[in-house]
């Protein structure tokens, strides 16, 4: 299992050159695009993006908990991802959430979306989120859906701040949940006939 330091370094090594590339390609801020669905001044673009992104990130993080408690595919996925999160410190969770959000949003929404389009970048985003095990394609589909939603926030407002905030909130809350919650523990503790349901 990769250590936090290696993962953080990888995200940093991708985010910095991608951010610089976006700065050069856009002749300015790597956070903005000109052809947004809403034509907003820069400050309004960032403000609306951030508000929508924070609301979306919190909503996704909140619906994750009942999904893991009730849906077998979500429990399986939780069990697959938990070994990585279990060893993270609180600071590592925050660092990983922020670095992965910046890196992936710069790369997929900032660079690929204007070039490939909204849906192709979302599909690519889903495909790079494969994990081993039975839940592989569920995770790919979920990540593709999230990529489409984050890309829609970007395209609507023209600002990457909202997608970055949403991505960081989702990753931060869900990594913390993965670290603390063992999806199989409640079932094992019931024992007897109830534990086999």
What does the DSSP assignment read for 68-82? HHH-HHHHHHHHHHH
> Tell me, what's the pLDDT at 184?
67
Q: Give percent of the chain with pLDDT exceeding 70.
A: 91
> To 5 degrees, how large is the angle CA 97–CA 74–CA 143?
50
Is 133 a residue whose pLDDT tops 50? yes
- Supply the mean pLDDT for the chain: 89
Cα–Cα distances (Å) from 63 to 74, 171, 178, in that order, read: 11, 13, 14
Name the pTM for this structure: 0.90
């Amino acid at each position: 299992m990769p250590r936090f330091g290696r993962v953080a370094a990888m995200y940093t090594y991708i985010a910095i050159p991608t951010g610089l590339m976006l700065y050069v390609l856009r002749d300015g801020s790597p956070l903005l695009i000109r052809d947004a669905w809403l034509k907003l001044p820069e400050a309004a673009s960032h403000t609306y993006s951030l508000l929508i992104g924070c609301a979306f990130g919190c909503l996704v993080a909140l619906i994750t908990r009942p999904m893991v408690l009730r849906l077998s595919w979500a429990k399986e996925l939780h069990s697959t991802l938990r070994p990585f999160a279990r060893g993270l410190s609180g600071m590592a969770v925050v660092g990983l959430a922020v670095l992965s959000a910046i890196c992936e949003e710069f790369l997929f929404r900032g660079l690929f979306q204007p070039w490939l389009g909204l849906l192709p970048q979302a599909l690519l985003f889903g495909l790079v989120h494969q994990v081993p095990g039975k839940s592989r394609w569920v995770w790919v589909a979920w990540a593709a859906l999230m990529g489409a939603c984050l890309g829609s926030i970007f395209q609507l407002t023209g600002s990457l701040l909202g997608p970055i905030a949403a991505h960081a909130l989702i990753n931060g809350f869900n990594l913390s949940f993965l670290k603390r919650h063992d999806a199989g523990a409640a079932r094992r503790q019931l024992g007897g006939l109830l534990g086999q349901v």
